[in-house]
Structure 1
């Protein structure tokens, strides 16, 4: 049995279809809407109490299906196919604009779909629906996407409005995030910690020749680490926003994660904070640095 939402959606499509195909065959119409003929007759009977406010006989839709041929009348106000409003289409266009910024997609197909949606939604307005995506410097966006794909460090001049200060930093970009502005999530070698940077505050950018060595950190270059978490620590995989993880049972269910680390100093502090749920790690330098901190 169809839900109320499914039935309403079907009726909103059924009336325009029957209005455009007078004398439509009952069985063929049922097949077209992927329902049986009894369900279609139930829908047609519902049309008798459907129409304009007032509920007078001439306000309601009339339907007949004698002889297996369907005819409807008095359905002019609901005979137009359902269309997206300009606002609904605008949200979808904006979503496509954001998808267009993601790496590894067929950008031409996304842009074509967005343009068709603009035109289709704007037919009644006789003008395409205009939606402005979040503004961002195209050259900067391209540069950062390439750096993310290459897992490369970059040098940026970043304006800190709260201090009215222009700072120079070397960062390792990890992802671009849309919001009120575009933001860059990255490891900041200056702060020796992850940071989020607003693209509108990046004044200049260049490829970094090499990441700097942090204070007391003799292995600052990016490297991958494999770590095993106890069941109580499985949430750390979500906290680190990791997609590469493996669940297995060895006495108790555990999770093995693999991720990119830009600083042994950061990793050693991470180990000290979560030592009770980390059962194995393949980075001996980080373990030694953590032990030195304890000593």
Structure 2
């Protein structure tokens, strides 16, 4: 078993045992390698962001939080190619680009056979023009949207006018390869779209933002016809099912 396959198998072995811990010695026997090899592999998984953790003392060992990981997935060559294209579109200027890069690493590590070959071939045929962005701004916007927190912005509009805003985030809009934060602007007392590359500074406050309906904020705007991406329909339908009593 090569190292990539072993890393993948280690995660699944820990998932199967959860919430129990497994010792390095037991894992070494299971995969027929030295204990120090398993220790290095577990450290690699931890550094890659996989939620593995170790506990010391009697009964200690390594474990994983199964709710923070996904079960094994088998992609066809066509599905793997589609993922490569989608991840390529999430360049450095897109929201959650850092998470997209780490996801690409995990997907690549888990794929074997024709799917892996097809994805590698396609990845060598995709290029992108780099764009400038402020990672601090993006991180603040991402966290504000994910946690529903009021955000303080410094913004430059299309005419070059600068302003400071307190906004209540509702979501993100993508159009013509640009990304916008859609939010209720307390300064204008209305829904507004803020192009991410025009936000010059962003700071999270400690104030929870009231919930806002994204479609309602977009009504009567140039983006009133925006619809959820078809590729995200399975995720939005699952979220709706969980919210129903």
TM-score by length of 1: 0.34
From the two aligned structures, give the one with the greater helix fraction.
2
From the two aligned structures, give the one with the greater strand fraction.
1
Structure with the greater alpha carbon radius of gyration:
1
If asked which structure has higher relative contact order (CA below 8 Å, sep 6+), I would say 2
